[in-house]
Amino acid sequence: MKWYGLTGGIATGKSTVSRMLADENAHVVDADLLAREVVEPGQPALVALVEAFGPSIVGDDGRLLREKLGAIVFQDPAARHLLERATHPHIGARTSALLQKAREDGLPFLIYDAALIVEKMLYPAMDGLIVVSLPFDLQLARLMARDGLNESQAQARLDAQLPLAEKVAVADWVIDNSGGLDETRAQVTEILRQLRSRSS
- Render pLDDT for 23-72 as a digit per residue (tens, 0 to 9): 999 999 999 999 999 999 999 999 999 999 999 999 999 999 998 998 88
Residue 122: how many other CB atoms lie within 10 Å: 19
Alpha-helix residue ranges (DSSP H) falling in the chain: 14-23, 31-37, 44-53, 66-74, 77-104, 136-147, 151-159, 164-169, 181-199
pLDDT exceeds 80 at position 74: no
pLDDT tens sequence across 14-23 = 999 999 999 9
Task: Give the Cα-Cα-Cα angle 98, 110, 121 (nearest 5 degrees).
Answer: 85
| Region 92-97 average pLDDT | 93
| Region 76-82 average pLDDT | 90
Residue 176 CA neighbour count, 13 Å, CB half: 4
Higher pLDDT, 70 or 138: 138
Residues sharing a CB contact under 8 Å with residue 103, sequence separation 6 or more, in sequence order:
1
The predicted model scores a pTM of 0.90
Domain map (residue ranges) of the chain:
1-27+108-200, 31-106
Alpha carbon of 4 to those of 16, 29, 77, 91, 124: distances in Å?
17, 10, 29, 17, 10
Residues 57 and 64: beta-carbon distance below 8 Å: yes
**C-alpha span between 37 and 16 (Å, rounded):** 21
Task: Give the Cα-Cα-Cα angle 61, 67, 72 (nearest 5 degrees).
Answer: 115
Q: How confident is the model at residue 138 (pLDDT cuts 50, 70, 90)?
A: very high
Q: 1-27+108-200: what fold?
A: Rossmann fold (3.40.50)
